[in-house]
Amino acid sequence: MASNTVEDVLFPGIDVRVERVNDFSSFLVVEVVSTAPPGRCPDCRKQARRVHSTYQRTLDERPLGPRQVIVRLRVRRYFCDRKNCSRKTFVEQVPGLSERRRRSSTGLTSSLRSIAIELGGRPAARLCRRLRMTAGRTRLLRLLKAPAVPDRAPRVLGVDEFAFRKGCIYGTVLVDVEAGRVVDVLPDRTSDTFAAWLAEHPGAEIICRDRASAYTKAVKAAAPDALEVADRWHLLQNLAAAVEKTCHQHRDCLRKRAEEETATEVSEVAPKLLPPAELPRTQIIERTRHRYEDIHRLLEKRWTISAIARRLNLDRQTVRRFRDTDLDQLLASARERRPNGVLEPFKVYLNARFTEAQGQVSGTRLFLEIQDRGYRGSRQVVRKHLAALREGTAEPVRADIPSPRKITSWILRPRETLTDSQNERLLQVRLACPDITRACDLARAFADLVRHQRGYLLLEWIRQAEQDAPKPVRGFAGFLRQDLDAITAGLPLPWSSGVVEGHVNRVKTLKRAMYGRASFELLRTRILTQH
């Protein structure tokens, strides 16, 4: 079996001959000569016949183990014999090794470009130093070139927004849904920008989108023949928001029923009731009350939402929620956010025993009693609760009410995936409030027609929801009617925005790694080049 030559090891498949290898302590200098056939003129493409001269080029090559490799390549300069060609001489390029106006080999350039695509500037430069590749961040960024955008849009185009800064600045990502790759990235999410892109890149037959009105306006203006497809996942997400809002609005019904059951439980344990207790002034309740007062005081002075958010160091959505929600509802929500703790299931029993003994009861004795019933907490927690009962500052036993989000998840999940306990609790919720029951029936019917792609039932569902549904679900039905064509088209077709959402998550990762220290063009280049 023939042994490999030096050329086969260092330059496989490249037309060069190694003349000498100089071994130094930290690097290797390899002197090579080109053996490629005469090249062609870059301008007129005529093959050269006469050699003008030779000279030596120095190229950086990929490291060999712990040592850097420097290639000293001797190349030929040729005459161009075509009289009408403006170029008189030209230098040959060795395919796979050298490129015009580059001081690094083709292989090293490709490796540096791959590292820059994945890491960007400074992180890529740090990795290159560890790999013994000579490359600074500026050089690495210069290697990044955004690929050309095709003249025609893909047949199935997906469009969605992503945030440069959430709540302030947004961009748009365009995806070829069939190929699963990003086509282009736009610097904003306005209808004018998207419409201009569609006008410059015709050919989209199907456009998958969420329910953003700006994209709808752009499609109708620049691509009226394209079929709009509303994403099914976003429809279910909007439905879940409407159902959750309904559950929020009717928590009093759930609380009333749960308190009746709790009162029955207490009466079975002991016939006497606890003395009336004051509402506990916990930290979260006091903070909610003060925040509500501060926001409404500034609203009375005609401050804007943004100004209030800056003044109080709050998110603008938080300011809007305090502006639009009653104080009682905010306080109830604040009380419900407090963790139940290990003692919560045993408070009914402790309160009843405390009342039965008229306060003359040992904390250690009660601790041992509830320990036999499954309590796994400390003795000190029981003593603190008894002390609060004696002072009249104990928090009343809260009814066990499932959160609106939990109720919504029970409603929208397939029924066969619910446990017996979840089915029982959902039944209790339905018995407590007829409005939640109606929202549950409508939501399950809508989820069923979406999952089984029964678009022909959509209009009838909208009519039923507009007649007797709770207000949030009725509003959701009104939005469906406004976008009826796109939703009806999206139910039977296999296309959706799932691929687009995946790319939006990838864009978020890239943005968090480098945006803010670099330009939009660099972010766009990395999005388009990284697959």
**DSSP letters spanning 346-415:** GHHHHHHHHHHTTT---HHHHHHHHHHTT--S-HHHHHHHHHHHHHT-PPPPPP----HHHHHHHHHS-G
Greatest mean pLDDT range, 268-277, 280-289, 341-350, 399-408: 399-408
- In tens, the pLDDT along 437-462 reads 999 999 999 999 888 888 888 899 99
Beta bridge partners of 70: 29, 60
Please give the pLDDT value at position 341. 57
Give the per-residue pLDDT at 166: 77
Tokens of 443: 């939501």
Q: What percent of the chain has pLDDT above 70?
A: 89
For the entire predicted model, the pTM comes to 0.65
Burial (0-12, 13-18, 19+ Cβ within 10 Å), 531: exposed
Tell me, letter by letter, the H, E, C secondary structure of 194-258.
HHHHHHHCCCCCEEEECCCHHHHHHHHHHCCCCEEEECHHHHHHHHHHHHHHHHHHCHHHHHHHH
Across 299-313, average pLDDT:
89
159-231+498-529: which CATH topology? Nucleotidyltransferase; domain 5 (3.30.420)
Q: How far apart are the first and last CA of the chain?
A: 42
| Sheet of strand 169-176: strand arrangement | 181-186, 169-176, 156-165, 206-209, 227-230
Check pLDDT > 80 for residue 44: yes
Distance CA 407, CA 397 (A): 21
Name which of 101-105, 125-129, 327-331, 477-481 the model is least confident about. Answer: 327-331
Tell me the average pLDDT of the chain.
83
pLDDT confidence band for 260 (50 / 70 / 90): low
Segment 340-376, tens digit of pLDDT: 456 776 777 787 777 777 667 787 888 888 888 778 7
**In which residue ranges of the chain is CATH 3.30.420.10 found?**
159-231+498-529
Is it the case that residue 240 has pLDDT exceeding 70? yes
Most confident of 158-167, 311-320, 366-375: 311-320
